[in-house]
């Protein structure tokens, strides 16, 4: 992602080109927070831009992987409604047939049904195929259908093994697959198995 930092320094406003090696607008927001910390710590704007360009990474957090002509966006470490929608926005910017494997979001309390439904609505405008994982993701699937995603393009599975079986049957070269859920569903293992199976 490339963007321009506009930083208020003691000598005025400075603008510096910046880039980060991660995908999505949410990653830019994180970079802006890092830039603010750097500025508060007294770093020069060019040093801030260089540090952002050096990047950061964490397993299963927005990792872009490729195998067998398929691109996998492994963002399976954790999920909330806001992070799910941000990941779907990132998926929308990628080329290829867009597929989302979205598992239930745990620990949402009373907002669980509405949160899952909102994510389903967002998925309907992004995905050619939506695979949901877990019983709690039923509202997600329902939201996608209500928002106009063809019912045949919404597949509900009970667990990661079921999701993997669906993907093995349907993936073709050029597809891009987002994998995201709460950590308790262990979709990181699905991403790993998918990558190994396509290699």
* Least reliable range by pLDDT among 51-60, 66-75, 120-129, 181-190: 51-60
Half-sphere exposure of 170 (CA within 13 A, CB side): 22
Residues facing residue 13 across a β-bridge: 8
Would the CA dihedral through 18, 60, 170, 173 be positive or negative? positive
Residue 28: predicted pLDDT: 83
Residue 31 CB neighbours (<10 A): 24
Residues facing residue 177 across a β-bridge: 72, 99
Total count of residues recorded for the chain = 199
The pLDDT tens digits of the residues spanning 83-124 come to 999 999 999 999 999 999 999 998 888 889 999 999 999 999
Residue 62 CB neighbours (<10 A): 23
3-state DSSP of 62-88? CEEEEECCEEEEECCCCCCHHHHHHHH
Average pLDDT, the chain: 91
The pLDDT tens digits of the residues spanning 2-56 come to 899 998 888 888 999 998 877 777 778 888 999 999 999 999 999 999 999 887 7
Give the pTM: 0.83
């Amino acid at each position: 992602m490339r963007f321009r930092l506009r930083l208020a320094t003691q000598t005025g406003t400075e603008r510096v080109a910046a880039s980060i090696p991660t995908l999505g607008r949410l990653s830019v927001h994180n970079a802006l927070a890092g830039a603010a910390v750097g500025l508060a710590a007294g770093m020069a704007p060019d040093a801030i831009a260089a540090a952002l360009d050096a990047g950061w990474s964490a397993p299963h957090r927005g990792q872009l992987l490729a195998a067998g002509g398929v691109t996998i966006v492994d963002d399976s470490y954790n999920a909330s409604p806001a992070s799910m929608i941000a990941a779907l926005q990132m998926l929308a910017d990628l080329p290829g047939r867009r597929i989302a494997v979205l598992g239930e979001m745990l620990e949402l309390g009373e907002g669980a049904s509405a949160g899952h439904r909102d994510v389903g609505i967002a998925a309907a405008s992004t995905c050619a195929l939506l695979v949901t994982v877990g019983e709690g993701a039923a509202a997600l699937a329902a939201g996608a259908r209500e928002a106009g995603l063809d019912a045949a393009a919404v597949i509900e599975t009970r667990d990661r093994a079921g999701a993997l079986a669906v993907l093995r049957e349907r993936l073709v070269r050029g597809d891009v697959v987002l994998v995201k859920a709460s950590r308790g569903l262990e979709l990181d293992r699905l991403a790993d198995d998918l990558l190994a199976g396509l290699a």
